[in-house]
A and B are shown apart, each in its own frame.
Chain A
Amino acid sequence: MRIGELKLTANIIRQNIIKMLIPAKSGHPGGSLSAADILATLYFQVMRVNPQEPNWPERDRFVLCKGHAAPVLYAALAEKGYFPKEELLGLRQTGRMLQGHPDMKKTPGVDMSTGSLGQGLSAANGMALAGRLDGKDYRVYALLGDGEMGEGQVWEAGMAAAHYKLDNLTAIIDYNGLQIDGRTDDVMSSAPLSAKWQAFGWHVIEADGHDIKKLMAAFEEAQKVQGKPTMLIARTIKGKGVSFMENQAGWHGNAPNAEQSEQALKDLKEEAANLG
């Protein structure tokens, strides 16, 4: 895909994040919007996947460690054709397949059930180990939040991935600087993130998480790294693309009301028009 098309895809994903939260009346817009460019780049450019065969053994895997950003994953999967887009409107509703946090048993394309922070990277490690054991060349991608750095298990997994030299693993931190209670630097600082991951034995790349060209270059670089897992620290804006949500911790876990949704979609459509 050309970069312009990827930008448009990210925009559509963002619009669908807003649209699915309206009937759900709950959910997490901030951290979903911040990750839209990353997911668009992964699913529409980088990852080897086949929506017609979600469990294809040769596929690249994606683990959404920050499971509360489920809307961005669902919007990307629907856009990619894993399931009909109408399903998006059933988000978080009884009897429907789109759970509040990703459920690999219910949703085609979800490679790991997540939601409890800190657990995803370990599962990604396991997939990467299995791939290597089977002599398969698939890659594993894991998206973490910066607030998630507070979980001890992340660092256990970080240590293990380097110990086992998992160069088929690329993790990404959606570094938006905010968590539920406020600024990550105030709540529980994880700085300096880059130095920490380097010290843990990872190849670290820092990039603007909304610059698709830079994201593509980062993923390409990660594929060439040998003997080390790669951590892409992606600087992002929580709520990106929706004027009143940008950089507001309050939009971590609240759905917009009708009026706000209208404004949000207006912002995003304007952006789309400028892209077109």
Chain B
Amino acid sequence: MAEKQATREAYGKALVSLGAENPDVVVLDADLSKSTKTADFAKHYPERFFNMGVAEQNLMGTAAGLAAAGKIPFASTFAIFATGRAFEQIRNSIAYPELNVKIAATHAGITVGEDGSSHQAVEDVAVMRSIPNMTVLVPADGEETRQVIKAAAQYKGPVYIRMGRLDVPLLFGEDYHFEIGKANILRDGTDAAIMANGTMVAIAVEAAEELLATGIKVSVVNVASVKPLDVSTIIQVAQRTKAVVSAEEHNIIGGLGSAIAEVLAENAPTPMVRVGISDTFGESGRPQELMEKYGLTKASLIEAVHKVLIRKKK
């Protein structure tokens, strides 16, 4: 079994090094710093850490004000509260004036597990993606998170970063290169392509390996940058494989699958199957069991590839 690390864990570590590199970096949290892992930053740089208590709207508004005065605020809480409770603050106080706030949200998706649906954001990418000026990034592992945090800090403007609670396999080494607006082709195959992000990338790689053993060559594309989307890579891979499966731990409405479908429908119509949460709320349970129950597994990706291959042949 590969070594594992939660993306939130990597975020906490990345923040501490960022704090050392850049004195303008400040961090805000809403009484969840032990869970979002901003507590480490708070320990190292207490004067640059602001706990806002259980008040997400004020958290986002305060971050906007800090950014307006030249700081680079990372505003952290769970994805559901960041993008749900404080949606309009993000929209009007951060994105509209294009302020340099990084909304670093953890505990996205159903892998929140036992806390249940009230805490499981399955629509955050959809709502963030629809806001003008917003960049949306969904890292897949610890190393990519580290690079995403660094890139977000260097980029001037609002960024939404979606991270998870659960330990996920470490996929990338330091030679990996993340760039805003670029997708990464992890496996090359001409029969079909799985385009995934977040927790689904490791599962997509496993599915591709199992399919390869049965003679089906599948490309795996890591689309960590949902917005801006790497349109040319997506079109190129779709044209080469002529069969696309999208995979995300998010509602199939409005997220990565939708973003890819939008691009393909307009530029390169391609048979496609979207794997994600099928427009339903989650529930309490062990994360792995929920991933199985809601169809976010290697088996469901393999099934989706077979399905899309039938349509490709027609």
Contact = CB atoms under 8 A, between A and B. Distances in A.
A115 B60 CA distance: 16
A191 interface: no
A157 to B, nearest CB: 5
Contacts of B93: 112-113, 116, 119, 122-123
B50 A164 contact: yes
Given A103-B97, A119-B61, A127 B68 contact: yes
Given A125-B62, A153-B57, A119 B89 contact: yes
Interface in A148-201: 152-153, 156-157, 159-160, 163-164
Q: By CB atoms of chain B within 10 A, which of A57, A61, A126, A160 has the most?
A: A126
Chain B contact residues, majority secondary structure: helix
A156 B71 contact: no
Contacts of B65: 63, 112, 122-130
Contacts of B52: 156, 160
A159 B57 CA distance: 13
Contacts of A164: 50
A139 B122 CA distance: 41
B47 A133 contact: yes
B280 interface: no
A57 B70 CA distance: 9
Given A122-B93, A157-B58, A133 B48 contact: yes
A131 interface: yes
Contacts, number: 110
Nearest to B64: A123
A3 interface: no
Chain A contact residues, majority secondary structure: helix
Nearest to A112: B68
A275 interface: no
B62 A160 contact: yes
A133 B26 contact: yes
Q: By CB atoms of chain A within 10 A, which of B61, B65, B69 has the most?
A: B65
Interface in A80-126: 103-105, 111-113, 115-116, 118-126
Given A104-B68, A127-B69, A131-B69, 14 more contacts: A111-B68, A113-B96, A119-B89, A123-B93, A124-B65, A125-B58, A125-B65, A126-B68, A126-B73, A128-B65, A130-B69, A156-B57, A159-B55, A160-B53
20 contacts: A61-B68, A61-B69, A103-B97, A105-B98, A119-B89, A119-B92, A122-B60, A122-B64, A123-B62, A123-B68, A125-B61, A125-B62, A126-B67, A126-B68, A129-B66, A130-B26, A130-B68, A159-B55, A160-B52, A160-B58
Interface of A: 57, 61, 63, 103-105, 111-113, 115-116, 118-131, 133-134, 152-153, 156-157, 159-160, 163-164
